[in-house]
Chain A
Amino acid sequence: MIAPQPVEQTPPMERAVAPGGPAAAREEEPPLLEVRDLKVHFPIRQGIILERHVGDVRAVDGVSLSIRRGETLGLVGESGCGKSTTGRAIIRLYTPTSGTVVFDGVELTRLEGEPLRRMRRRMQMIFQDPYASLNPRMTAGGIVREPLDIHSIGTKAERRERVRELFEIVGLSPDLMDRYPHEFSGGQRQRIGVARALAVRPDLVVADEPISALDVSIQAQIINLLEQLQGQLQLTYLFIAHDLSVVRHISDRIAVMYLGHIVEVAGSRELHDRPVHPYTVALLSAVPVPDPEIEGRRRRIILEGDVPSPASPPSGCVFHTRCWLREDLGRPALCETAVPPLVDHTPKHSVACHFAVESERSPRTQAVLGVPNQDDPSMTKVG
């Protein structure tokens, strides 16, 4: 559940603020991870001797999200939207500029040294590129054992036994422990990456595009493995990816990011069946479907132009420069002046759009969802 972020301006538009929004989260047990108003800005410096601070890349600009124990939250967005930075800031691979990250009751953003190390044991990461994220000079067994060495877990014999067990858990033969990364295929390397992440028995696993570097025929192996391990080991996942169909498959809930902001959060079925934010609708319509008949009938919203630079994001709603709905509504000034807060559109479905109601009712949204409509010449027919 997402708590509304504090915002300065209250837009004068009517909006469906659901009763009990943030309070509903507290009915259940507290979330394992609660991120609030997280900002990660990378400074841009100029000059050689006197480095002047001339600006910031606002990679993550006020992200709030929470993940319950045992849940998978999908974080989806296009390259440069800040999804990976969010994941890395959560486990403190980057130091957040501001905001809080509360993991199982402990505030992480100010932890240093030994207490941070102890918390890191409980949060592990799976990386995108299984070719770049494994040390080529270490054996597969050594790679998987390294977290145990770092955190001084078990005796030497126990570590060896644990590595053996981890190999079996991820579907690799323990006989391969003494081999080097280059002797493995891409899919097997990613299994080694998974085993390494699981070595210290973490609660939370941040998986950053774990399958996008793999061959199509291998991807399903890793997706199935991650799903199976989640059930077996009660893992909580933050699953970061650009591919909406993959994210939908594995996630319980999905957060959609655009240019450093979360624009929509909902259960994965809800997001697919009733997308509200104009960006989500366009993203959904752009995902190719491997069925020529559907592709021939589908209506698509093609976004104009490119994602703006996070070093100088647009004012107001960051999506307004490419927003089709804003055009349809005759370019209301509000989109350029006020940042739309992420608020409950319906219970358990938050949207950051001044015109969420209009977006949901738009004939173009309805057409993308396949609701039969009168011929709308403004739509792009595909096929």
Chain B
Amino acid sequence: MMPLLEVRDLVVRFRTHDDVVHAVNGVSFTVEPGDALGLVGESGCGKSVTNLAILRLLPQPAGRIEGGSAVFDGTNLTSLPESALRRIRGRDIAMIFQDPMTSLNPVLTIDEQMVETIQAHRDIGKAGARARAMELLDMVGIPEPSQRLRGYPHQLSGGMRQRVMIAMALSLEPRVLIADEPTTALDVTIQAQVLELIEKIAREQHTAIILITHDLGVVAGRTKRVNVMYAGFVVEAAPTGELFAHPLHPYTVGLLHSIPRIDRAEGEPLIPIEGAPPDLRDKPVGCAFAPRCAWRIERCWTDTPELKDAAHDGPVRLNTDGSGEIDGRHRVACWNVPTPAEARAGRPLGRRLPRSTAGPAPAGEGESGS
């Protein structure tokens, strides 16, 4: 089956007067109909930029797609004229942003914003659009939708605003919904409400979801596959269950050991990832994670590892919901993959060559030049 969305070797750079920021450095992934893909990584890893690039919403004029393609249902979005792209944005591929306050227009009522969105894409009268808006607000669990429609965004709480955003994003029954940190600005009890809602509606409308987050806990329960990103590269890609059971990339292993977990015994020591994320103004040479990696070898400083199928001991575990149509491959971009025992321990267990310290890159401590 042809994937619904196929991103291939996407390269995005931001050019300013004296700098080039290497934001996305050749990212590839696919999304099938009804899929739920998680993009995980910390700030600056390129997870948001990748998705802004897909919809060509990069900040202008600095942000440019400098390579690769994003093909949606047979159409290459990267070369499509703006007018044609506009029909896809919102209708076929919708997006929910992190901060529901800044993504709603503060001087327009909820009614005006929702009716405008619906009418922009559908040949429908004002009354019809309003009825649809009301139905959507009801669907996302907003009490008294007719009253809320007349209100302004500031009259709603954060959770309610995010519900309005979800209602707007889903108003046109998109085939792909990109949710960029949809719950990061919300409290944990509200986060549970909102994630549950996105999941339920996506299931009902058979919408594919790309869930962008820094929180491994959020992707664990809500996605079928996960791509782990670091410094503009996908460093590991696997079905969700597989990724958590057998993490292969040192960065993934590091992330899993550096967060306290509510389900684990108390007082388990955290193993931090040393250093800080790299300065993206430097052209990536070798593996971007090498300066912080406990498993690095000489080669990591010079050769960029490709995302390749991992040699596997056990069978690839598929998700338990029986959907079966997901990409079951486990791929990793690493020259020196931690063993399963090391992945469990969170650190190298001494069978390796002494770790290489002489690298061409600075130690990557984030102290950018003075």
A interface list, Cβ under 8 A from B: 78-79, 176, 179, 183-188, 215-221, 223-224, 242-246, 248-250, 268-269, 272, 282-296, 298, 300, 302-303, 306-307, 380, 382-383
Tell me which residues from 221 to 246 in chain B have a Cβ below 8 Å from any Cβ of chain A: 221, 240-241, 244-245
Please indicate the chain A residues that have their CB under 8 angstroms from the CB of B272 in the complex: 217-221, 223-224
Contact: B366 with A216, CB < 8 Å?
A: no
Q: How far is the CB of B218 from chain A (nearest CB, A)?
A: 5
Contact: A184 with B367, CB < 8 Å?
A: yes
Given contacts A188-B365, A292-B240, contact A217 B254 (CB under 8 A): yes
A-B CB contact pairs (8 Å), 27 listed: A79-B187, A179-B367, A183-B368, A185-B366, A215-B214, A216-B42, A217-B258, A218-B273, A220-B271, A221-B272, A244-B262, A246-B260, A249-B267, A282-B189, A284-B262, A285-B192, A286-B191, A286-B192, A290-B216, A290-B259, A291-B263, A292-B244, A293-B241, A295-B221, A296-B221, A306-B190, A383-B321
Contact: A215 with B366, CB < 8 Å?
A: no
- Give Cα A146 to B189, complex, Å: 40
Interface size on B, residues (CB 8 A): 54
Q: Which of A176, A187, A245, A250 contacts B276 (CB 8 A)?
A: A187
Contact: B276 with A186, CB < 8 Å?
A: yes
Contact: A245 with B262, CB < 8 Å?
A: yes
B159 within 8 A of A: yes
B357 within 8 A of A: no
B interface list, Cβ under 8 A from A: 42-43, 157, 159-160, 187-193, 196, 214-218, 220-221, 240-241, 244-245, 251, 254-263, 266-267, 269-274, 276-277, 292, 319-321, 365-368, 370
Please indicate the chain A residues that have their CB under 8 angstroms from the CB of B191 in the complex: 286, 288
Contact: A290 with B266, CB < 8 Å?
A: no
- Give Cα A242 to B245, complex, Å: 28
Please indicate the chain A residues that have their CB under 8 angstroms from the CB of B266 in the complex: 248-249, 268-269, 272
Contact: A185 with B259, CB < 8 Å?
A: no
Please indicate the chain B residues that have their CB under 8 angstroms from the CB of A291 in the complex: 220, 244, 261, 263
Please indicate the chain B residues that have their CB under 8 angstroms from the CB of A380 in the complex: 196
Given contacts A282-B189, A287-B262, contact A295 B220 (CB under 8 A): yes
The A-B contact count (CB < 8 A) is 161
Contact: A294 with B263, CB < 8 Å?
A: yes
Q: Which of A78, A218, A224, A382 contacts B188 (CB 8 A)?
A: A78
Q: How far is the CB of A287 from chain B (nearest CB, A)?
A: 5
- Give Cα A246 to B220, complex, Å: 18
- Give Cα A296 to B217, complex, Å: 12
Contact: B214 with A216, CB < 8 Å?
A: yes
Q: How far is the CB of A265 from chain B (nearest CB, A)?
A: 17
Please indicate the chain A residues that have their CB under 8 angstroms from the CB of B240 in the complex: 292
Q: How far is the CB of B79 from chain A (nearest CB, A)?
A: 35
Beyond A249-B266, A284-B262, A289-B261, 13 additional contacts (C-beta under 8 Å) are A185-B277, A188-B276, A217-B272, A219-B259, A220-B272, A223-B270, A224-B270, A243-B188, A287-B188, A290-B220, A293-B241, A306-B159, A382-B221
Contact: A288 with B218, CB < 8 Å?
A: yes
Please indicate the chain B residues that have their CB under 8 angstroms from the CB of A245 in the complex: 259-262
Contact: B273 with A220, CB < 8 Å?
A: yes
- Give Cα A187 to B267, complex, Å: 22
Q: How far is the CB of B25 from chain A (nearest CB, A)?
A: 19
- Give Cα A168 to B220, complex, Å: 38
- Give Cα A188 to B366, complex, Å: 9
What residue of chain B has the Cβ atom nearest to residue A80's Cβ?
B187
